[in-house]
């Protein structure tokens, strides 16, 4: 393939609005250590089944399975938040707790199937920062969703970012 003509303007990167959620099992490694791989796989199957069902119910895409976690993508905020809430509240008693992070905004759609940008990274970092049984959402992403079970507001320092992220704490 020939190099692009240097006299033509550079191709504009396509930015689209998307909302991202990362959901992760808490204490998964400890479960695997205590009870073994079979118990760990059973826990993963439960999570995956729940995520698939709720993603389908709310029109949200399962983008990637990440070991003991998942990355969800939605084109609208509310259905994605409702799917995450349903996964959190639909967990059976005795299962490992979940934690998660949500952020929405413009991202680059790269090669038609990958997302690059601050929003994706922030959602992932908020998931890491959330405690068991809660998920953190950027305040701007959930502004106006008055029905959310917000348990507080925090300025979260997240890895890789100089300024703290204004987030709300959701504990379903």
Sorted by sequence, the CB contacts under 8 Å of residue 171 that are 6+ apart come out as 133, 134, 149, 151
Over residues 146-166, the pLDDT tens digits come to 999 999 999 988 888 899 999
**8 in any annotated domain:** no
Give 121 or 171, the one with higher predicted confidence: 121
**6 in any annotated domain:** no
What average pLDDT does this structure show over 49-77? Answer: 96
Reported confidence tier of residue 51, pLDDT bands at 50, 70, 90: very high
Amino acid 92: pLDDT: 65
Amino acid 8: pLDDT: 54
The burial class, CB within 10 Å (0-12 / 13-18 / 19+), for 127 is buried
Amino acid 85: pLDDT: 95
What percent of the chain has a predicted confidence (pLDDT) above 70?
92
**153 in any annotated domain:** yes
**10 in any annotated domain:** no
Most confident region among 1-10, 105-114, 124-133, 155-164 by mean pLDDT: 124-133
Low-confidence winner among 31-35, 49-53, 156-160 (lowest mean pLDDT): 156-160
Under DSSP, the state recorded for 148 is S
Amino acid 12: pLDDT: 72
**72 in any annotated domain:** yes
- Number of structural domains found in the chain: 1
Give me the chain's average pLDDT, please. 90
For 156, the 3-state DSSP assignment is: strand
Over residues 75-85, the pLDDT tens digits come to 999 999 999 99
Amino acid 13: pLDDT: 76
d(CA 22, CA 9): 36
The answer for 52, left when phi > 0, alpha when psi is -120 to 50, beta otherwise, is: alpha
Amino acid 161: pLDDT: 87
Q: Has residue 6 got a pLDDT over 80?
A: no
Residue-range definition of the domain harbouring residue 157: 15-170
d(CA 130, CA 93): 20
Q: Which CATH number fits the domain that encloses residue 89?
A: 3.30.70.1230
**95 in any annotated domain:** yes
Amino acid 1: pLDDT: 47
**9 in any annotated domain:** no
**22 in any annotated domain:** yes
What average pLDDT does this structure show over 94-100? Answer: 86
């Amino acid at each position: 393939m020939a190099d692009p003509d240097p006299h033509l303007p550079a191709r504009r990167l396509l930015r689209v609005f998307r909302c991202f959620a990362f959901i992760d099992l808490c204490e998964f490694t400890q479960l695997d250590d205590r009870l073994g791989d079979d118990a760990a796989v059973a826990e993963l199957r439960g999570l995956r089944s729940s995520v698939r069902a709720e993603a389908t119910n709310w029109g949200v895409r399962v983008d990637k399975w990440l070991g003991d976690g998942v990355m969800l993508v939605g084109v609208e905020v509310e259905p994605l938040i409702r799917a995450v809430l349903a996964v959190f509240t639909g967990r059976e008693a005795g299962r490992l707790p979940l934690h998660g992070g949500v952020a929405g905004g413009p991202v680059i759609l790269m090669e038609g199937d990958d997302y690059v940008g601050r929003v994706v990274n922030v959602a992932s970092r908020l998931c890491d920062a959330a405690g068991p049984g809660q998920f953190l959402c950027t305040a701007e992403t959930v502004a106006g969703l008055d029905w959310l079970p917000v348990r507080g507001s925090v300025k979260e320092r997240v890895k890789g970012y100089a300024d703290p992220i204004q987030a709300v704490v959701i504990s379903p």
